[in-house]
Structure 1
Amino acid sequence: MNLSIRQLVTFREVMRSGSISQAARTVGRTQPAVSAMIATLEDELGFALFLREHGKLTPTPEARFFLEEAEAILARLERTKETLGRIGTLRSGTLRIACHPAASGFFMPRLLTRFAKDKPGLELALIMRSSGVIEDLIASQQYDIGFAETPVPRASIHQRDYDLECVCVLSQDDPLAAREVLMPADLDGRPMAILFEAHTTATQTEAAFQASGHSFNKYLELRTFLPGLQFVAEGLCIMICDMITAYSHLVQNPGPSGLCIRRFRPRISNSVSILTPGYATPSLVTQAFIADLSQALERMPDEIEKALAAP
């Protein structure tokens, strides 16, 4: 049996109108073409759908049963068409994001909120996990997008890397705020906030002080930079901070906040990556959000540069 959608639609119109001529006008075909299509449909089914008496069509009991089936198929097809249309315009679908702590408090939720605002049919999931856990979630295809510190490349993950410069955050009342660039010599012996010992920013920062022969005074050890901003604002310490945390603070606090951002040399970098499953093709909605995320990361250094240039 080889039934077509056009046959089903034509049959439905004949049943609704009770007339070949009226059905032909509705479907935009000639009366002979509709008659031929109904005859072909009956041949395919192996039984008559209409009794033809005195120029009139009378549906058989089989035709009434077949109409229910045809309408169910066409309704399902219409729903599928609508769903695919929503997917094609990014108004429907699922988007599952696993995000590392530095970006999960403000940067990622802000970006995702803007993306989803005109997409009410979108199903979202956003979780915060450590970068190592995110790698495994993406490699196993449990999440569509991971945003994490740059991992060692592996075949099961496709990654797009961004090397972001760390900045020096200090109290706006600190005399060092008058300088455009700060170096280990300027911070010699000053209380410092730093991430846990194994973190790449911590090792780079301590190495910079050692190489210059100046004293590094670890005052506060953190898991993420965000809590350190409060200590810095109170003048308790200075912090070499990742760009995402500094950027998030700037956007949330456009006015005076008690903090000042300055460039630090030698350059301390914090590389982050957009991760997607290596053995899966991203959906259209995933691709669209990755484009937004990429643009936000590319714009971020310019926004930080404005803060660095502020008096």
Structure 2
Amino acid sequence: MSIRFRQLQAFHATYETGTVTGAAALLGISQPGISNLLAQLERETRFKLFERVKGRLIPTPEAGVLFQEVDTVVRGLDHVGQAVTDLQNKQGGQLQVASQHAMSFGFMPKLIAQFARARPDMSISFQSQYSSKVQEWVMSGLFEIGVCETPQLYDALDTYPFRVEMELTLHPDNPLTRYDILTPALCGSEPFIVMGPDHMTHRRTREAFESAGVPWNTRVHTHLFKNMLSFVQEGMGVAILDPFMLAHDESGSFVTRPFAPAIHMDMMVITSATRPLSALARDFLALLLDEIGRVIPSSDAPGRLLPPAAAR
């Protein structure tokens, strides 16, 4: 038996529309073409598919059984064709992004939502985690794009590094808000809410106080910038925090000031160096790098040159 898919399509369309004319219009081929395909299928199956009753084609019992099997195949291929069209138009597919915690509160969800507006059929996989885990996920192929802190743990990553100047964050009632710029000398007696001692912002802030010869009063230790902000809002002290998170926090009850010397956090956007990015991911990567560049000074922004797909 040598049944061709076009024959099954003609049968499926005729069964659903009830006429050769309707099937021809649905498939965009001529009525004689439909009739010829149906005749070919009847020869292959060795049973009659339709009886003509008052101008309509009534399926035989055998055709009813065949339709149940053919329906799944034909609709399945239609879905495949639509998926291909969506991918060609960059409307479908899946966006896979992972981010360290600070940028996952506000910044990344808003950027992904902006990207998704023109792609209603796109599915999204987004997770926030510690930077080491984000690198591991991108390395293993679980996510195409990651945003994390340095250092780079795996050689098989393409990186787009950028540097973020942190902001000193205070409760609005804190007397230090009267200063335009804050220094270790001005903050000598102020309790600080800090990340753990291994975090780069902890080390760099400690070095700034040591260089100034001022004791550093650390009161609360925690592991997320979002938690640090909550303690600031409760009046527990001040904190060196990430501007991406602060810019998208709508809870209020805090003010920010520059800190001198500047405390920086080194970050990077990462992709796999061993697997090509999907067209969807390449478009989002370009948007992400541009948006980061809008938030931080150009000298600290990530590079904009994306690797060509053929070179990956």
TM-score > 0.5, shorter chain as reference: yes
Name the one with the larger strand percent.
Answer: 1
- TM-aligned CA deviation for residue 98 of structure 1: 1.9
* Residues 184, 209 of structure 1: 8 Å contact kept: yes
Change (3 A) 1:86 1:103: same
Is residue 217 from structure 1 mapped to residue 212 from structure 2 by the alignment?
no
1:277 to 256, 272, 278: 272
Partner secondary structure for residue 226 of structure 1: helix
After superposition, residues 93-132 of structure 1 pair within 5 angstroms as 93-132=93-132
C-alpha distance in structure 2 between counterparts of 1:245 and 1:177, whole Å: 20
TM-score, normalization by structure 2:
0.69
3-state SS in 1 of match to 2:122: strand
Q: Secondary structure at the match of 1:231?
A: helix
CA distance in 2, matches of 1:146, 1:209: 33
User: Within 1, Cα distance between the matches of 2:75 and 2:133?
Assistant: 43
Query: The residue matched to 2:187 in structure 1 has which SS?
Result: coil
Give CA deviations for 1:160-181 in whole Å, capped at 9, x if unaligned.
1111101111122223212221
2: CA distance between counterparts of 1:171 and 1:300? 23
Report sequence identity in percent.
24
Instruction: Please tell me the residue identity of whatever aligns with 1:238.
Output: V
Q: CA deviation at 1:138?
A: 0.9
Give the C-alpha shift of residue 245 in structure 1.
2.4
Which amino acid in structure 2 is aligned with residue 191 of structure 1? Answer: P
- Counterpart in the other structure of 2:207: 207
CA distance in 1, matches of 2:28, 2:136: 56
3-state SS in 2 of match to 1:182: coil
Relative to the length of structure 1, the TM-score reads: 0.69
SS at match of 1:181: coil
Could you list the structure 1 runs, at least 4 aligned residues long, displaced by more than 4 angstroms after superposition.
Answer: 4-10, 70-79
Alpha-carbon spacing, 1:301–1:28, altered in 2? closer, same or farther (3 Å) = closer
Given the superposition, is the C-alpha separation of residues 83 and 127 from structure 1 closer, same or farther in structure 2, using an over 3 Å criterion? same
Q: Tell whether 2:286 aligns with 1:287.
A: no
- The one-letter amino acid paired with 1:224 is L
Question: How do 1:3-18 residues align onto structure 2 when only pairs under 5 Å count?
Answer: none
Q: Residue 256 of structure 2 aligns with which residue?
A: 261
Aligned pairs, how many? Answer: 290
Distance 2:165 2:209 in 1: 17
What's the counterpart of residue 236 of structure 1?
Answer: 236
- Cα distance in structure 1, aligned partners of 2:241 and 2:215: 15
Distance 2:215 2:240 in 1: 12
Which residue of structure 1 aligns with residue 246 of structure 2? 246
In structure 2, relative to structure 1, the CA distance for the partners of 1:6 and 1:169 (3 Å cut) is same
Structure 2 letter corresponding to 1:149: E
- 1:296 and 2:295 matched: no
CA contact (8 A) 2:161 2:266 kept: yes
Residue 45 of structure 2 aligns with which residue?
none
- Is the deviation greater in 89-98 or in 189-198? 89-98
1:212-242 Cα shifts (integer Å, max 9, x gaps): x343433331101212223323433111112
Where does the alignment leave 5 or more consecutive residues of structure 1 unmatched?
Answer: 11-26, 30-69, 303-311
CA contact under 8 A between 1:168 and 1:240: conserved in structure 2? yes
CA distance in structure 1 between the aligned counterparts of 2:203 and 2:28, rounded to whole angstroms:
74
Do 2:196 and 2:202's aligned partners in 1 also have CA atoms closer than 8 Å? yes
Report what 1:197 is aligned to: 197
SS in 2 for 1:264: coil
Letter aligned with residue 93 of structure 1: G
Matched residue, 2:184? 184
Q: Deviations over 1:235-289 (max 9, x none)?
A: 331111122222222x564xxx3x1111111111112211111111111111122
Which segment drifts farther, 214-223 or 274-283? Answer: 214-223
Q: Partner of 1:98: helix, strand, or coil?
A: strand
Q: Hey, what's the Cα distance between the residues in 1 that align with 2:88 and 2:125? A: 20
Q: What are the Cα deviations for residues 178-200 of structure 1, in whole angstroms up to 9, with x where unaligned? A: 22211111111211111100100
Which amino acid is the alignment partner of residue 218 of structure 2? Y
| Cα distance in 1, alignment partners of residues 259 and 285 from structure 2 | 30
Output the amino acid matched with 1:284. Answer: A
Residue-by-residue CA offset, 1:82-130 (whole Å, 9 max, x unaligned) = 2222112222111222221212232222222232234332222222221
- For 1:290, the aligned partner's letter is L
Larger Rg: 1
Instruction: Supply the RMSD in Å over aligned alpha carbons.
Output: 4.4
Write the letter of the residue equivalent to 1:209.
F
